[in-house]
A and B are shown apart, each in its own frame.
Chain A
Amino acid sequence: MAVKAIRETYSGPVLDAEANFHGNRIVYIGWDRHLMYATPGALPLPPAMPFAKLLEDVLPQAYGLHPDFPKIQWDKVQWLLDGEAFEPAMQASLAENGIGHKSVVRFVTPELTGIAGCGI
């Protein structure tokens, strides 16, 4: 639907098009029920990066300060990609795992209930 605006044919460039990120794509990452990190994060990542790199580099840097983080058993983690359950192939790339530009990757650790068991 056309925008009702003071200028006719009001439309703008998609400012966050993937082409604007110098070869990276934006991936949003959230750790469910660990609200010490008050919001999900936004990260520019190369689409060819193996998924395993997330576990080795990206997540420890983003979430390593949380006392639950060292307790995560990664083979038991439940993953959500854009709201749907999915099983990542660790050696395949982000792109091969279906992680698109501005996808949301969430991980769920049901046995870890956060600080004071409060989902923090």
Chain B
Amino acid sequence: MAAGKRLGIKEKYNWMTKDLTWDFSYRKPSEIYPLLEFEGIKIEDWSKWEDPFRLTMDAYWKYQGEKERKLYAVIDAFAQNNGHLGITDARYVNAVKLFMTGVSPLEYAAHRGFAMAGRAFAGVGAQVSCQMQSIDELRHAQTQIHTISHYNKYFNGLHDPFHMHDRVWYLSVPKSYFDDAVSAGPFEFVTAISFSFEYVLTNLLFMPFMSGAAYNGDMATVTFGFSAQSDESRHMTLGLEVVKFMLEQHPDNVPIVQRWIDKWFWRGYRLLSLVAAMMDYMLPKRVMSWKEGWEMYFEHNGAALFKDLSRYGIRMPKHWEVTVAEKEHLSHEVWATLYNFTHAADFHTWIPEKEELDWLSEKYPNTFDRYYRPRFEYWREQQKAGRRFYNPTLPQLCQTCQIPMLFVETSDPTLIAYRTSQYQGNKYHFCSDGCKDVFDHEPEKYVQAWLPPHQIYQGNCGGATIPDVLGYYHFNVGRDNGEYLDSEDHTNWLRWKGQVKAAA
């Protein structure tokens, strides 16, 4: 081919994406795109959709293919060199377990969601962006499974993540979050996932897991992170683009988008509670505290974003100030809850060691020594006396986020926050004003929530006893669950590293 005949990027993008569409002559647009109007979003001109990446399909395959080759070379090397022995401590693998069971299935769900959105949107620019993201998400689910499968050979709890995701009590938190988004409608879905999660909050998922992996010697997960990073920046751009596009298309869209931002910011923030506990408690070598992360990524960067969006009439998400008030409490409450119920989890928990408690005291000078350290020290004493504490009662859950009702009043951190609504003669309970608002706006969506403790009591989860239920979850009882110090993971780790188990 003569060099002069090559197409420029913009030209190529137009030929390879925008020109692939056609006008329909014998069907009405509403028959082709039946999901475009019911959400109330008004689009005057789909051609105004700009894809800042202008990525064409041929270039997409080429880039992704190169990344895959590099990733799988590293995964092979990691396996051949017993890479799992290079991590800081076997406790770290519990963060990987949480990622595998809680996050990887969401990547797969996102693959389905973006396929739906790509089919639903009428503009070819949006269709192509969603199609690429759909394939990205499938690739992420797949590469995470391949990367983490190495750990499955050596550690417990990694053997059946997708089965668990659909059933296990704490995994109903991420699952119900995503089901809520994908059953909403294409515009709400992309506002929820692309904007509120990928754009506003994703740094708080990606940074702790990927930097946490790097700090803790998990080169397999780091490499996966690098492989996904360029996709993630494309997804973030899509998130911002889709929101600006809706806001620019019609003024009537502004209040609808604002309400979605309010809802999905809050839902995403609640989902990140698990990440908060992971950052402060599960990484043997810590990157930064949850509080520092929240200050940097939300209070600083998030505030700048919403300042920028104010020209469209968009304000900060409702209840954002609660997230700031909670930042010195969140991770400790969540870890205490996981510690309470580890007998029914497929990962282990533990009391932080003394230096780790000191790190927490230093990072949380206003709260840790006053409210949380005594709790952990008491539990450690109990454990030393042979009475490792587990909570014998199933927890009450929030009807919206499905997290156990562990959050406290921001005005009084010794008091659990209880919120309630009545709907058609039934009582519904919430952990916060944010979750109550979401329910009150669309109660029909949440009255049918599949709340695991209630499902257990209704007899839908394998039986009446805890072992029955754990069997239904496909847990290997006595190996996957319970205290870390008593676990097979711990014993194996000491053996591999030539260390001796300390007296409890």
Chain A interfacial positions (CB closer than 8 Å to B): 1-8, 10-17, 20-22, 24, 26, 28-30, 32-33, 35-44, 61-62, 65, 82-83, 100-104, 114-116, 118-120
Known: A12-B447, A40-B416. A61 touches B392 (CB 8 A): yes
Q: Is the CB of A38 within 8 A of B406?
A: yes
Is residue B30 contacting chain A, with contact meaning CB distance below 8 A?
Answer: no
Query: How many angstroms from the CA of A63 to the CA of B330 in the assembled complex?
Result: 24
Q: Is the CB of B445 within 8 A of A10?
A: yes
**B299-316, CB < 8 A from A:** none
Q: Is B38 an interface residue (CB 8 A)?
A: yes
Contacts of B340 in A (CB 8 A): 37-39
B391: which A residues are within 8 A, CB to CB? 37-39, 41
Q: Count of B residues near A, CB < 8 Å?
A: 59
For the complex formed, measure the closest distance between the CB of B23 and the CB atoms of chain A, giving whole angstroms.
Answer: 25
- Give the CA-CA distance A13 to B371 in the complex, in Å: 41
The interface centre, meaning the residue of A6, A36, A62 with most chain B CB atoms within 10 A of its CB, is: A6
Which residue, of A26, A30, A38, A41, has the highest number of chain B Cβ atoms within 10 A?
A38
Contact B333 A38 (CB under 8 A): yes
Closest 9 CB pairs of A and B: A12-B448, A119-B414, A41-B393, A116-B374, A39-B404, A38-B337, A39-B395, A102-B427, A40-B396
List B contacts of A36 (CB < 8 A). 375, 378-379, 389
Interface residues of B in 437-469 (CB under 8 A from A): 441-442, 444-445, 447-451, 453-455, 457-459
Q: Are the CB atoms of B448 and A14 closer together than 8 Å?
A: yes
Stretch at the interface among B57-65, B97-105, B182-190, B243-251: B182-190
Of all chain A residues, the one with the shortest Cβ separation from B382 is A65
CA distance A15 to B289 in the complex (A): 38
Q: Does B418 contact A (CB under 8 A)?
A: yes
**Given the complex, which residues of A lie within 8 Å of B353, measured CB to CB?**
none
* CB atoms of A115 and B374 under 8 A apart: yes
CA distance A83 to B420 in the complex (A): 9
Q: Which residue of chain B is the closest to A103 with respect to CB atoms? A: B427
B288 sits at the interface (CB 8 A)? no
| Contact across chains for A4 and B442 when beta carbons are under 8 A apart | yes
20 pairs, CB–CB < 8 Å, chain A vs chain B: A2-B444, A12-B445, A14-B447, A15-B454, A21-B457, A26-B454, A28-B396, A35-B414, A38-B333, A38-B391, A40-B405, A41-B393, A62-B392, A82-B427, A83-B418, A101-B426, A115-B375, A116-B374, A119-B371, A119-B413
